[in-house]
Amino acid sequence: MPKYQKDAEQLLKDIGGKENINAVTHCATRMRFVLNDPDKADQEAIDEIPSVKGMFTNAGQFQVIIGNDVATFYNEFKEIAGVEGTSQEDIKSVAQKKQNPLQRAVGALAEIFAPIIPAIIVGGLILGFRNILEGVDFGGATIVDRSTFWAAINDFLWLPGEAIFQFLPVGITWSVTRKMGTTQILGIVLGITLVSPQLLDANEVASTAAADIPNWDFGFAQVDMIGYQGQVIPAMLAGFLLAYLEIFFRKYIPEAVSMIFVPLFALLPTIIAAHVVLGPFGWWLGDIISNVIFSGLTSSLSWLFSFAFGLLYSPLVITGLHHMSNAIDLQLIASEVTSHTTSLWPMIALSNIAQGSAVLAVIYLHRGDKKEEQVSIPAMISCYLGVIEPAMFGINLKFIYPFVAAMIGSGFAGLFNNFMDVRANSIGVGGLPGILVINSQIGGGYLAFAISMVLAIVISFALTIVFRKRGIFNKEDREEPAPAIAADVAASGDIDLSSTEEGTATVSSITQGTTEKLFAPVSGQLLEITAVDDPVFSQKMMGEGYAVKPKSDKIYAPVEGKISSVFETNHAIGILTPAGAEVLVHMGLDTVELKGEPFTVNVQENDKVTADTQLALMDRKVVENAGKQTDILTIFTNGDQIGSLSMKDQKEVSAQEEIGSVEVFS
């Protein structure tokens, strides 16, 4: 019988049968389905299949995590189901067709903003620090008033702050061309023409008399020379026009002269349209959106609006609609009506704090569950620091009641926050660091936001405990877990314990563990696996492990062993160690879509490897230009045989350097 026949048959049944499969493919770790009716998939039943390590839905794809042996599982599944496989690009296209127009629009928005979010976060932190230096009164004077040094630091920090927020249109137009697969340098040039120093700064337009606004006089028409610093919608409209014009002209202009005429015919008309039509229209539309939202936040029903936003932001994260908030926040900050501030960002930060506090309550309720704590504690920390997904998907949605408790806590915190008219000068890191970007001159400032944070923490924590104790919203009601068996006891030899008392464990035939050395596969920054920006890895669905953010293209073996598999797109390599650990070396995130282009693999199946063996070369520039992350992951996929993982406490590592050890049980 094939290795996974029973599990594959069960998955086919639980997923809704062959007739419910529109398309199917796989990557290095998971099966990727596009289902005709996602509601027919019985997720609880799928979760019980032995080979399945987890599942989630993303961008219209229903993804089932199998692990290192996914290729074998996939081939057996195809035979049993009688379906043909689909390429990664085709399944992505099919998934997009299954989405409604709103989902596609939100997905496009997410793809545009995702690459520039790191810069926006850094900019938010910088402006938040400047806000403290120049905006907070300490005993009658600010820090910059008292210190020449800090005054100079404050002035210097405006350099990166201006680069990020004033020149934001450059990042947006570049990101649009990256998403559309067109020439990215043209997007950068287009963005520069929207914020050129030749133009009147967008922030000065409101205070400049109409007669004093410079213009281009073409004789038959005059066009205002206005810049679009910090504006989102004009930049997006111009970016998409540029991309579509380039795609259009590439179809009709001969390849021999396309390098000359395609950029000319795409870029020049776009620049003209941006300043004559798209820019003024985008500015007008942005003002309408800002006015409507600001009116809602300041009207007699502002309490209802703010409570609803705080309550529903977390569900928006599940649907992906929360990506729209980035564009709205930036539009609010660009508006004169709001005094260049936003009331939404503080409430988003409070939602993160509420979800993290609900996880904290779950940790308290389930204290002693060591396996769960491996996920819950890092998830709570990351949530408090602004990354909400691990807490939501790894813990709160699993039990439901903490998720609902956090929604309510976020709602009340948002209500109080808006009642005190707390606003942010920029968007930045959510969670607790969100206080850095709060405007200290408008409304309640830092103190009011600090009280809002306390409300989010206390209400979410308390309601989580109340809901658990009273069985409210409980998806999975559990007793307190039995105390974990200490690793040193497990490693001491065969044990036979038994008890009839509830809550104690029975263990038999525990085999002595073997410790194997771990090495850095590449030079760079060593990361906890929970810090990786992919829930499949960060939530340890695939197993324990670690990652390195590389500073080199040379990838070495992180363990001694034998090559067990090389994935067909070369982005992942399997290694079997002498003690039986199944190790997956995964190069980059979502790099399966690159079809092997950035990777040169130097090994093949059954080759013996050590820490000195160079497994592959990864062209980081190709990966980064494709909008992917370059993290090199080392994952132990046979979790039932993996004991404690010990890592040295260091940030920077060198390739082939010993960095820790792992215990493997046979």
Residue carrying the six token digits 């600010």: 142
**Alpha-carbon dihedral sign for residues 459, 460, 463, 469:** negative
Task: Tokens for 38, please give them.
Answer: 């996602």
Please state, in angstroms and rounded to a whole number, the distance separating the CA atoms of residues 438 and 127: 10
User: How many other C-beta atoms are found inside a 10 Å radius of the C-beta of residue 632?
Assistant: 26
Q: How far is CA 552 from the centre of its chain?
A: 24
Please state, in angstroms and rounded to a whole number, the distance separating the CA atoms of residues 186 and 263: 7
Please state, in angstroms and rounded to a whole number, the distance separating the CA atoms of residues 433 and 382: 11
CB of 428 closer than 8 Å to CB of 385: no
**Alpha-carbon dihedral sign for residues 536, 539, 545, 546:** positive
Among 458, 442, 441, 467, which Cα is nearest to 350's? Answer: 458
In sequence order, the 6+-apart residues with CB closer than 8 A to the CB of 98 are 22, 34, 60
Torsion of CA 316, 321, 324, 329, to 10 degrees: 0
User: How many other C-beta atoms are found inside a 10 Å radius of the C-beta of residue 198?
Assistant: 9
Give SS3 for 196: coil
Of these residues, 24, 27, 194, 662, which one is catalytic?
27
Counting DSSP H helices and E strands in the chain, the numbers are: 24, 22
CB of 70 closer than 8 Å to CB of 27: yes
| Residue 383 annotated in active site | no
Task: Tokens for 203, please give them.
Answer: 């922030």
User: How many other C-beta atoms are found inside a 10 Å radius of the C-beta of residue 87?
Assistant: 12
Entry field: residues in the chain? 666
CB of 226 closer than 8 Å to CB of 213: yes
Q: Which residues are catalytic?
A: 27
